[in-house]
Amino acid sequence: MDRAIRTTCAYCGVGCGIAATPTGPRSVTIKGDEAHAANAGRLCSKGTHLGETVGLAGRLLYPMIGQKRASWDKALDLVARRFRDTIDRHGPDSVAFYVSGQLLTEDYYVANKLMKGFIGSANIDTNSRLCMSSAVAGHNRAFGEDIVPASYDDLDQADLIVLVGSNTAWCHPIVYQRIQAARAARGTKLVVIDPRRTETCEGADLHLALKPGTDVALMNALLAWCDREGIASSDHLTVPEGFWDHIRTGHDLWTTARTCDLPPAQLEQFFRLFAATPRTVTLFSQGVNQSIRGTDQVNAILNVHLATGRIGKPGAAPFSITGQPNAMGGREVGGLASTLAAHMDFAPDNVARVGRFWAAPTMATKPGLKAVDLFRAINEGRIKALWIMATNPAVSLPDAARVREALASIPFLIVSDIMAQTDSSAHAHVRLPAAGWGEKDGTVTNSDRTISRQRAFLPLPGEARPDWWIVTQVARRMGWRSAFAYDRPADIWREHARLTAYQNDGARLLNLRAHATIGNDAYDAMEPFRWGGAPFADGRYPTPDGKARLVLTKQMDLQPPLRDWPLTLNTGRYRDQWHSMTRTGLSPKLARHREEPLVEVHPDDAQALGLADGDLARVATPQGDSLFRAHLTEGQRPGEIFTPIHWTDQVSTGGRTGLLPRRLVDPHSGQPGFKSTPASLAKVTAEWKGFLILRGTEPVTLPCLWATRVTVSGGTLYEIAGNGDPARLETCLPKGDRVEAIDQTRGTRRIAILRDGRLAAVLFVTRTGLLPSRDWLIGQLEAEQVTASVLAARGPGARPDKGATICVCFDIGLNQIVAAIRDQSLVDVPAIGQAIGAGTNCGSCRPALANILAQTTQETLHAAE
């Protein structure tokens, strides 16, 4: 581990420590950092395979003005000049930044300072608006400050963990492993509240598959139950008028069971368990936040914890878990349009204080536009220059077609990204090459307020530069040289720390005073630390009277299904992909878990639509439509469908989830209701289906109905389907020696292109026949010599189709796992690991293994009956 550089994972808010050992100019060995409290050496599948994502494929390496390479000087001058002109002509509110929880704290700090102190507008919002702004608003309402009152240690000490709207097994896998460890060590009970049966539910003590959008009713009824049991009280709390009357009316078991569409006995079981278990952590994420009543849903959870005194004590806390690696750092610097800086809002005192500290010429005095409103303002022509940093709104904002129109119409668009082509940068006037993970230096704050260093271990490629540098250069060119005279991230960190401490008499818990004078070497050597200690342990809250507040929350009325849009669309994540796939998409291993975007649908709904597993299906909403591959599963409630958020124009003709949700937002937080959109589903016929494997990673556009691309070892795999003559696909094949086999009866065509004896491409298309396993053919990309026999699609001794990849670390497929369970009579997950290795490295697939084990055992029993 000598040469290893300690850094923090690029992905989720768990914030795992990583020991990265460079092994070449663009290669690195990744291990978990055993000394980091967040993960103690463990990493999930995404973290484990970070090494596969540090190549230069697809990177933006030079500043670009339009389609032309430009010098940094020229690009920065242009950006500064256009911002200056736009502000002079239309005022400061005519420009905006749209930033990201994937920026480092230092990047975030300078972007926020430039907009709110110098440009003089608060039009800087972030993708965190889409992510946890309801939690921020909920915390502010209840605690008086945006404080996450939990730490991961609480999970180790809890007797009951309630996961609400969180697919922890896939989205925060190391936290999930920690929960499993607590269950094994001390018998901690686990309850999952999620309309879908996700892998997180595997082995849970209870899964409440509630009707979407009914969390307020559930939490209020839980509080009513605790009240009747005599374990709820208003002591030391500010209670709004009528609060208890409201809780005590209409929140009985039966009414609630009807509202939430749950068996009353199940609800009762949960309420009893909760009431009997003081050490409870309620961990929540997007199923709660991403709702048009997200803030109320957050406060309904906080109410229960406050009134039952389950906060500020070991093993007892509400825990809003964050998504992105630095969502929390963004909140700390104040990078949301609705906050000012360092946990201060726009109260006149705060504006004056921050203005003094920054020596700011033109302070913003009121909140700016929140993400959805910001893009609406662009549509309406009110924002004339936008700078996007480290986010891909053309994919991730709701009603993405309108967002794309906004990006196409805005007079001046700048995109700072690590990738050359994204759906958002397609219309950029200027593209700026940012330094990526492993190249940039700074700090991030994870879900439990632990601040860790991200450190560079690779040289900057091409002319890429860190985001803080880019912003600072533009600020200097706009005339604010001395206010942005930073030479290194440590300079910015010290200033941020000083601001958190500036005239902070204890009213703000965020106070990094100890770091205000930290030296450069100490910054470089900084160990992970958690700020804020154990908040609220003394029962005091950062409100004027020191008391926390209960908030009266009412269950909203849910609309009955609409005639044309009878289904409810829920959206979210896959285990091995990160957002718009710009990085995880580079990893051949991660690609194999889910190669195509699926629409998950209950078999009853599928039957009514004549839809079979594997068919193509169109999901439509009033906002737009897109194709998906249908997957039938009992894990969906009837009437509800689920699609993933990851697929983009860069990799697929379908799977465009962003086009589907509405622009409706929560009134307090501005967070969109991504989890519930009225939708319809219809089967789409494809006369033929097939796949194309190409050597290399250069993307091609395939003229067909369905084409989705994933990176595989040595090349690219396209899954394809379409109507009409598939022969037109052949124009996309590379030049070389062509071998071909045709089976007229099944309408099957197999073509291989060989170059210097090596495989350059294979195209398999069939109308009625079966397609062979792709694995063996992909393996042939690596062979020194192949012959026409490659068209048989299996070599001597080739293994049978291993099925969808479950364990990405050891490349083990579903069929192999089922066979091992059957043949060797395996009875638990560790036994599967011993027999074939699956699940013994990162452990991300263990919930899936448990699921396969349960199903296989059941099928075997049925077969024996």
Indicate the residue type of 9. C
User: Which of Mo ion, ligand SF4, ligand MGD, none sits in contact with 171, Cβ below 5 to 8 A by type?
Assistant: ligand MGD
Q: Specify the residue, 619 or 786, whose C-beta has the smaller distance to ligand MGD.
A: 619
Note whether 661 and 673 are within 8 A (CB). Answer: yes
Q: Which two tokens stand for residue 149?
A: 């009152």
By DSSP bridging, strand 805-807 and strand 812-813 are antiparallel
Phi and psi based region of residue 527 (left: phi greater than 0; alpha: psi -120 to 50; beta: remaining) = beta
Distances 77 to 66, 410, 523, 825 between C-alpha atoms, Å: 15, 19, 32, 69
Compute the least distance from the CB of residue 119 to ligand MGD, in Å. Answer: 19
Question: Applying CB under 5 A, does 371 fall inside the site for Mo ion?
Answer: no
User: Which of ligand SF4, ligand MGD, Mo ion, none sits in contact with 386, Cβ below 5 to 8 A by type?
Assistant: none
Compute the least distance from the CB of residue 695 to ligand MGD, in Å. Answer: 25
User: Which of ligand MGD, ligand SF4, Mo ion, none sits in contact with 657, Cβ below 5 to 8 A by type?
Assistant: ligand MGD
Q: Report the alpha-carbon distance of residue 591 to residue 595 in Å, rounded.
A: 6
Question: Applying CB under 5 A, does 432 fall inside the site for Mo ion?
Answer: no
Q: Specify the residue, 30 or 474, whose C-beta has the smaller distance to ligand SF4.
A: 30
Tell me the sheet residues that pair with 313: 316
User: Which of ligand MGD, Mo ion, ligand SF4, none sits in contact with 395, Cβ below 5 to 8 A by type?
Assistant: ligand MGD
User: Which of ligand SF4, ligand MGD, Mo ion, none sits in contact with 484, Cβ below 5 to 8 A by type?
Assistant: none
Which ranges constitute the DSSP H helices of 750-839?
774-780, 814-823, 829-836
User: Which of ligand SF4, Mo ion, ligand MGD, none sits in contact with 615, Cβ below 5 to 8 A by type?
Assistant: none
The closest residue (CB) to Mo ion is 323
Compute the least distance from the CB of residue 666 to ligand MGD, in Å. Answer: 13
Q: Which two tokens stand for residue 401?
A: 């077609």
Compute the least distance from the CB of residue 468 to ligand MGD, in Å. Answer: 10
By DSSP bridging, strand 189-193 and strand 160-164 are parallel
Tell me the sheet residues that pair with 690: 720, 765
Question: Applying CB under 5 A, does 99 fall inside the site for Mo ion?
Answer: no
Q: Report the alpha-carbon distance of residue 181 to residue 186 in Å, rounded.
A: 8
Q: Specify the residue, 93 or 439, whose C-beta has the smaller distance to ligand MGD.
A: 439
Q: Specify the residue, 124 or 306, whose C-beta has the smaller distance to Mo ion.
A: 124
Q: Specify the residue, 130 or 821, whose C-beta has the smaller distance to ligand MGD.
A: 130
Q: Specify the residue, 13 or 655, whose C-beta has the smaller distance to ligand SF4.
A: 13
Using CB under 5 A, which of 131, 158, 512, 694 touches Mo ion? 131
User: Which of Mo ion, ligand SF4, ligand MGD, none sits in contact with 571, Cβ below 5 to 8 A by type?
Assistant: ligand MGD
Q: Which two tokens stand for residue 465?
A: 């530069």
Q: Report the alpha-carbon distance of residue 576 to residue 592 in Å, rounded.
A: 9
Q: Report the alpha-carbon distance of residue 194 to residue 212 in Å, rounded.
A: 8
The closest residue (CB) to ligand SF4 is 47
DSSP string spanning 722-759?
Answer: ESS-GGGGGGGSPSSEEEEEEETTTTEEEEEEEETTEE
Q: Specify the residue, 7 or 422, whose C-beta has the smaller distance to ligand SF4.
A: 7
Binding site for ligand SF4 (CB under 6 A): 9, 11-12, 14-16, 39, 43-44, 46-47, 172-174
Q: Report the alpha-carbon distance of residue 322 to residue 127 in Å, rounded.
A: 12
Q: How many CB atoms lie within 10 A of CB 91?
A: 11
User: Which of ligand MGD, Mo ion, ligand SF4, none sits in contact with 419, Cβ below 5 to 8 A by type?
Assistant: ligand MGD
Note whether 599 and 67 are within 8 A (CB). Answer: no
Binding site for ligand MGD (CB under 6 A): 12, 46, 100, 102, 127, 130-131, 164-167, 170-171, 193-196, 198, 212-213, 215, 285-287, 290, 323-324, 389-393, 395-396, 416-419, 422, 434, 436, 440, 467, 570-573, 575, 577-580, 582, 645, 657-658, 661, 674-675
Compute the least distance from the CB of residue 325 to ligand SF4, in Å. Answer: 7
User: Which of Mo ion, ligand MGD, ligand SF4, none sits in contact with 196, Cβ below 5 to 8 A by type?
Assistant: ligand MGD
Note whether 471 and 499 are within 8 A (CB). Answer: no
Q: Specify the residue, 346 or 437, whose C-beta has the smaller distance to Mo ion.
A: 437
User: Which of Mo ion, ligand MGD, ligand SF4, none sits in contact with 645, Cβ below 5 to 8 A by type?
Assistant: ligand MGD
Tell me the per-residue interface mask from 319 to 338 with Mo ion, x by CB under 5 A, - otherwise: ----x---------------
Cβ neighbourhood burial of 84 (10 Å; 0-12, 13-18, 19+) = middle
Q: Specify the residue, 9 or 820, whose C-beta has the smaller distance to ligand MGD.
A: 9
User: Which of ligand SF4, Mo ion, ligand MGD, none sits in contact with 315, Cβ below 5 to 8 A by type?
Assistant: none
Compute the least distance from the CB of residue 82 to ligand MGD, in Å. Answer: 19
Compute the least distance from the CB of residue 274 to Mo ion, in Å. Answer: 27
Residue labelled with tokens 């595989």: 712
Q: Specify the residue, 211 or 508, whose C-beta has the smaller distance to ligand MGD.
A: 211
User: Which of Mo ion, ligand MGD, ligand SF4, none sits in contact with 183, Cβ below 5 to 8 A by type?
Assistant: none
Compute the least distance from the CB of residue 320 to ligand MGD, in Å. Answer: 10
What is the size of the binding site for Mo ion (CB under 5 A)? 2
User: Which of ligand MGD, ligand SF4, Mo ion, none sits in contact with 443, Cβ below 5 to 8 A by type?
Assistant: none
Residue labelled with tokens 């394809």: 720
Q: Specify the residue, 101 or 535, whose C-beta has the smaller distance to Mo ion.
A: 101
Tell me the backbone φ, ψ of residue 332, rounded to 5 degrees. -65, -40
Q: Specify the residue, 424 or 500, whose C-beta has the smaller distance to Mo ion.
A: 424
Q: Pick the piece of the chain touching Mo ion (CB under 5 A) from 271-279, 317-325, 342-350, 653-661.
A: 317-325
Q: Which two tokens stand for residue 655?
A: 């799977």
Compute the least distance from the CB of residue 644 to Mo ion, in Å. Answer: 14
Indicate the residue type of 640. E
Which residues neighbour 419 within 8 Å (Cβ) at sequence distance 6 or greater?
Answer: 58, 59, 60, 425, 582
Q: Report the alpha-carbon distance of residue 616 to residue 704 in Å, rounded.
A: 13
Q: Specify the residue, 174 or 478, whose C-beta has the smaller distance to ligand SF4.
A: 174
User: Which of ligand SF4, Mo ion, ligand MGD, none sits in contact with 9, Cβ below 5 to 8 A by type?
Assistant: ligand SF4
Q: How many CB atoms lie within 10 A of CB 302?
A: 28
Compute the least distance from the CB of residue 163 to ligand MGD, in Å. Answer: 8
Q: How many CB atoms lie within 10 A of CB 159?
A: 18
Distances 271 to 304, 570, 637, 675 between C-alpha atoms, Å: 12, 26, 23, 25
Question: What is the rounded end-to-end Cα distance, in angstroms, of the chain?
Answer: 55
The DSSP output letter for 422 is -
Question: Applying CB under 5 A, does 165 fall inside the site for Mo ion?
Answer: no
Cβ neighbourhood burial of 233 (10 Å; 0-12, 13-18, 19+) = middle
Indicate the residue type of 83. F
Q: Specify the residue, 299 or 443, whose C-beta has the smaller distance to ligand SF4.
A: 443
Q: Which two tokens stand for residue 857?
A: 């055992």
Q: Report the alpha-carbon distance of residue 340 to residue 859 in Å, rounded.
A: 58
Note whether 791 and 781 are within 8 A (CB). Answer: no
Q: Which residues bind Mo ion (CB under 5 A)?
A: 131, 323
